[in-house]
Amino acid sequence: MAEVLVYVDHVDGAVRKPTLELLTLARRIGEPVAVHLGPGADTAAATLAEHGAVKVLTADAPEFADYLVAPKVDALQAAYEAVSPAAVLLPSSTEGKEIGARLAVRIGSGIITDAVDLEAGDEGPVATQSVFAASYTTKSRITTGTPVITVKPNSAAPEAAPAAGTVEQLAVTVAETSKGTKVVSRTPRESTGRPDLTEAAIVVSGGRGVNGAENFPVIEALADSLGAAVGASRAAVDAGWYPHTNQVGQTGKSVSPQLYIAAGISGAIQHRAGMQTSKTIVAINKDAEAPIFDLVDYGVVGDLFEVVPALTDEVKARKG
C-alpha cells in the first residue's frame, strides 16, 4: 500500500491532537509514515504508533529551532525523497501551511490548504474545504505532483490503530540558503491550564458585550465549568480585554468544536469565518436582531451578565 507522509506537530515529543487526526485521515489513503523533527521522537513514537504510524522518520538539528521554517522544509523534503509518498499531510497551522507550501514548490506539486475532510478518490485524495466563511463546501484534488494537503484541527476523530511505528533516523542536510531567517528569541506562551483553543471540544467566547477585561472572568467561569477553552471576538481583543492568541475568526484562530457558545458577540462575517463549522452553536445576546442568531441551534435573548452566571451555576449543580 502507498505510504503517506504525516508531518508531526509536537512540543518536545508531546504530540498535538491535530497530528493524531492526520494519522486517522492518512489511513484512508495509505500507510502513514510520521515525520518527527526536533527533540522527543522516542516519546512521540509510542503515540504515533498507537495511531497507525508504520514508521517514524526523525531528525533533530539546532537549525530547526534557530531559523524559521526553511530547515524543516529541507528535512521534510529528505523524507519525501526517502519514501516517495502518495501524499503529504500537514496540520493547518501557520507553520504547517508554510512548510507545505515551500515543499510544494520544490517537488513541483499543487497544494490544498485548510481541508476539513479527506477521502481516497479514483484520481488521488479528495479534500473537502469549507470556504467563504463556511458558506460553501468544495471538493478538490491535486492534479500535478504529489498531493500536499494541510488539514484543519477537529476534522476527524482520532482513532487508535496500532502499527509498528519503527523509529528511523532521517539524514538531513540543512542548506545554507535555508538559514536566512534567524529566530533571535523565542518566548513560549504561558499555559492557562485550559484546553487549547483550536483543539477544544467546547469553546466559550466573549465579545464587546462583555464590556471590559474585568468582566471576562464571567466567561472564564462558564468555560471552566464545562472544561472549555476561552475565545474572544476581535472587538474584545482590540479593546485589550483578552489576548490576541484567543481571538476567534478570520484573522484569529479558526475553531470547529462540538459546542461553541458566543456571549455578547454580534456575529460579523469575519467572526463567523472562524467558528461557523462548529457542530452546535449557542449564543447569548441582548439584541434579538444580532446576526449571530441566524447561526444558532439555541439562542438566548438576554443580558449575558444574568444568563451566563445562571448557566454556570446550573452546569456546576448538574455536574455535582
Contact 89, 127 (CB under 8 A): no
- Return the DSSP state at 75: H
The CB density around residue 58, as the number of other CB atoms within 10 Å, is 24
Contact 259, 277 (CB under 8 A): no
Which residue, 59 or 127, is less far from ligand FAD as judged by CB?
127
Among 33, 57, 118, 133, binds other proteins (CB under 8 A): 133
What nine digits make up the cell of 219?
Answer: 466567561
Query: Could you tell me the smallest distance in angstroms from the CB atom of residue 153 to ligand FAD?
Result: 16
Encoded amino acid at 172, one letter: V
Look at residue 4 and give its three-state secondary structure: strand
Of 26-34, 40-48, 159-167, 293-301, the segment contacting other proteins by CB under 8 A is 293-301
| CA angle (43 as vertex; 42, 45 as ends), nearest 5 | 65
Among 4, 87, 163, 290, binds ligand FAD (CB under 6 A): 290
Of 24-32, 52-60, 126-134, 206-214, the segment contacting other proteins by CB under 8 A is 126-134
Q: Which residues pair with 153 in a beta bridge?
A: none
Which residue, 94 or 185, is less far from ligand FAD as judged by CB?
94
Instruction: Report the distance separating Cα 9 and Cα 70, nearest Å.
Output: 16
Q: Among other proteins, ligand FAD, none, what binds residue 249 when CB lies within 5 to 8 Å by partner kind? A: ligand FAD
The site string for ligand FAD over 236-255 (x = CB under 6 A, - otherwise) reads x----------xxxxxx---
Among 33, 265, 282, 295, binds ligand FAD (CB under 6 A): 265
| Cell 500536499 -> residue | 148
Under rule CB under 8 A, residue 313 binds other proteins:
yes
Contact 145, 180 (CB under 8 A): no
Residues forming the site for ligand FAD (CB under 6 A) = 110-113, 131-132, 207-209, 233-236, 247-252, 264-266, 268, 270-271, 274, 284-287, 290, 303-305
